[in-house]
Amino acid sequence: MMILPAQTNIQLYNQLVELGYPESDLALVRRAYDLAMQIFSGQYRANHKPQLAHVVGVASILAALEQPVTVVAAGLLHAAYSHGDWGDATRGRNAAKADQLRDSTSRQTEELVARYLHIPWRKKPEILFGMLERNEELTADELSVLTIKLADIYEEYADLSIGYCKFEKLPLGPGYERNLVDALARAARMLGLDTLARDFESALQRFEEFVVATPLYYAQQGGPIIPPLSHELSLKLRLNRKVKRILHRLGIRG
């Protein structure tokens, strides 16, 4: 049976409990989810699937593969530095973000997320195989980051979500999808993840037979960030309050 990843925190929590993760591990995942909920709020992928659902799915796949809890938590936050909204209008990693992620989760989780950020994933098979060819030289953290990336890609195939949008990361061409997934399955086997390798192959077969209904297809590339409708109003209210306080201090009646 294929790994069918969780899409909500409750599904993920239930999965972790069923798999026997101890309470200390559950607490770490809970903290990681709470941070993910903040920094991915209002973000949607190219097919308008919530970004939060995707990262939960990645963590769920890693749990199904019996990865350590620090890796599961890093799966929840793998896009924290590349796509997370930390409230400072910046992308990438800085000391403040690293401190917050480390304090919310663990030192090792933050290190995995940082490593994930600095690998150029655009050429997925080439990067994966380039690292796997020097398997004996890879550290445990590097192997964990590769596993996170495979889980990230598989999550997009597991529910066919990749078929609902024009996915800018995959160049079009005859047989490209099959060659890509075959390569990813081989990479999974090189990492000793035979279950994931078989699931890649099953997911590809489903994907090749899948035809998305035209009204449900999203042609744009990239995903939107959609703040709540009240966001603009609440910002104006906060500014008005600040202006009134300043005027009051100056002795001016507004």
Alpha carbons 101 and 77: distance in angstroms, whole number? 9
What confidence score (pLDDT) does residue 39 get? 96
Confidence of residue 11 (pLDDT cuts 50, 70, 90): very high
What confidence score (pLDDT) does residue 171 get? 45
Neighbours of 132 (CB within 10 A): 16
Alpha carbons 160 and 212: distance in angstroms, whole number? 9
Neighbours of 1 (CB within 10 A): 6
Which of 77, 204, 193 is CA-nearest to residue 146? Answer: 193
More reliable by pLDDT, 228 or 151: 151
More reliable by pLDDT, 67 or 135: 67
> Could you tell me the residue ranges of all domains in the chain?
9-223, 229-254
Confidence of residue 125 (pLDDT cuts 50, 70, 90): low
Alpha carbons 75 and 155: distance in angstroms, whole number? 11
Q: Where is average pLDDT lowest: 98-107, 152-161, 240-249?
A: 240-249
Q: Give, in order, the Cα–Cα distances in Å from 220 to each of 42, 47, 118, 162, 224.
A: 18, 9, 26, 13, 10
Confidence of residue 184 (pLDDT cuts 50, 70, 90): confident
Q: What is the mean pLDDT of the chain?
A: 87
Confidence of residue 173 (pLDDT cuts 50, 70, 90): very low
What confidence score (pLDDT) does residue 169 get? 46
Residue type present at position 214: T
The answer to whether residue 254 scores a pLDDT higher than 60 is no
Alpha carbons 76 and 35: distance in angstroms, whole number? 9
Q: CATH top-level class for 9-223? A: mainly alpha
Residue whose tokens read 């999965």 = 15
Question: What average pLDDT does range 242-254 have in this prediction?
Answer: 73
Task: Report whether 120 contacts 38 (CB < 8 A).
Answer: no
Question: Which range, 64-73, 138-147, 186-195, is most confident?
Answer: 64-73
Task: Report whether 6 contacts 79 (CB < 8 A).
Answer: no
Q: Give, in order, the Cα–Cα distances in Å from 244 to each of 41, 130, 163, 217, 230.
A: 30, 60, 52, 48, 21
What confidence score (pLDDT) does residue 232 get? 60
The answer to whether residue 228 scores a pLDDT higher than 60 is yes
Alpha carbons 125 and 77: distance in angstroms, whole number? 22
pTM for this prediction: 0.87
